[in-house]
Amino acid sequence: MRDLNPECYLFRQVKMPVLRSLSRVAQQVLQAPACGCQPITVAVRNISFSPRQVTSDASFHSVSFSETDHPKVLITGGLGQLGVGLAKLLRRRFGNNNVILSDIRKPPSHVFHSGPFIYSDILDYKNLREIVVNNRITWLVHYSALLSAVGEANVALARAVNITGLHNILDIAAEHGLRLFVPSTIGAFGPTSPRNPTPDLCVQRPRTIYGVSKVHAELMGEYYHHRYGLDFRCLRYPGIISADSQPGGGTTDYAVQIFHDAVKTGKFECNLRSDTRLPMMYIEDCLRATLEVMEAPADTLSMRTYNINAMSFTPAELAGEVQRQLPDLQVTYSLDQVRQDIADSWPMNPTMRTRRDWGWKHEYDLPELVQTMLAFIGSEARVAQAS
C-alpha cells in the first residue's frame, strides 16, 4: 500500500538514522571521564530532497539516458491504441526489451507476446517506483487517463486517476531524473479560447473534468520543470484517426465512423454540422510526433507544452473526399447538440511552434488519410466476408 504520509516516510528513512547517531555520540560524551579530551565531532552529510522527500543520492537511482545506448521506456496505460502503437514504434527503434508496456488490465495474447509487459497501477506509488528502479527506466510515457465521456460519468474516479495518478508520476520522474511525456488534448481549451487560430499560449477554461485535468497536467509539468529540473514534454493531441480502432462515441469519432459505414453500408449519418471544422491527425503522424518531441534536444524546446496538428477539415470536406473514392456514398446529417457544443468549444486550427522548434512535419493530408483508411478497412471487410 502506498505510504500516505511522506513526512513519516522521511522521518523513518532519513531522520531516524541521524538521530540515533547523535544519541550514541551524546551517550559517549556523558560517559567519558572529566579530562581534557578533544571534543568529539560528528560528520553529518547534507541531504537534498525530491518532491517526495527522498534523498537525492540514493544508491538505487536509475541510470541516466546519457549513460546507455538506448533509453529504457515505461508506458503507463499502455493497452490503449496509442500505447500499443507507440510501443511498436519505440521497439523498432530502441530494441524490443527496452520498451515496457504497463496497465492494470490483462493484455491480449498478441500484445503480451510482442514484448515486455508488466502490471502497474499509477495510484500505487510504491509499486510504480519499484518498477522504475528495478527496470532502470529513463523515459516515462504517461498515457493512463480517464477520457471525457467516462470522466463525466464518474468525476471522483477521473480526479483520482487523472490528477492523483499524475502527481505520483511527476514525483517519481523528478526523483529519478526521467524524461517524462504526458499527452494533453485540444479539450484543454474551452469556449473562451481563440479558435482560429488557437495559439500555444492562450486562455484555457475547459468545461469537462478531462479537460480540466489536462490543463492541470500541463501546468504541473511546467512547474516541476522549473522547480526541480524535470524534463517534462507535452503535446496537445487533436482528433486521432486510426483504422485499427472502432468509434467510441467521442466528438471526433465521426471521422472514423464514416469509413466503416462507407465500406459496409454505403450510408453515413453525421452527428455534427457539415461546416464544423476540427483539427485531426492520422495515428502514424501522432506516434511519430511523440517520438520526435521525446528525442528533440532540450535546448531546441522553447516551451514544454505544444499544440500539434496535421490537418483541419469539416464533415462536408471529409465526405467529399471519401465520395471521390466511393461515389455512391450517401451522407446525411442529424445534429447531436451535446457533441456539437463540445466541438464548438474546441480549436479549429491550432498554431504550431513545433515546426520551428524541432522541425515537425506531418505526412498524411486529407487525400492520403482517406486512401489509407479505405484501403485498410476495405481489406478487413474482404477478409471477414471470405471467412
Q: Residues with catalytic annotation?
A: 210
What is the distance between the alpha carbons of residues 336 and 269, in angstroms, rounded to a whole number? 11
Q: What is the DSSP letter of 78?
A: T
Residue in 309, 247, 243, 314 with CA at minimum distance from that of residue 275: 314
What is the distance between the alpha carbons of residues 218 and 213, in angstroms, rounded to a whole number? 9
Cβ atoms of 78 and 87 closer than 8 Å: yes
What is the distance between the alpha carbons of residues 120 and 137, in angstroms, rounded to a whole number? 14
SS3 313: strand
Cell numbers standing for residue 225: 520543470
Cβ atoms of 181 and 293 closer than 8 Å: yes
Is omega for the bond preceding 197 within 30 degrees of 0, making it cis? yes
For CA atoms 55, 58, 62, 66, give the dihedral sign. Answer: positive
Which amino acid type is present at position 257?
A: Q
Quickly count: other Cβ atoms within 10 Å of residue 286's Cβ.
24
What is the distance between the alpha carbons of residues 181 and 179, in angstroms, rounded to a whole number? 7
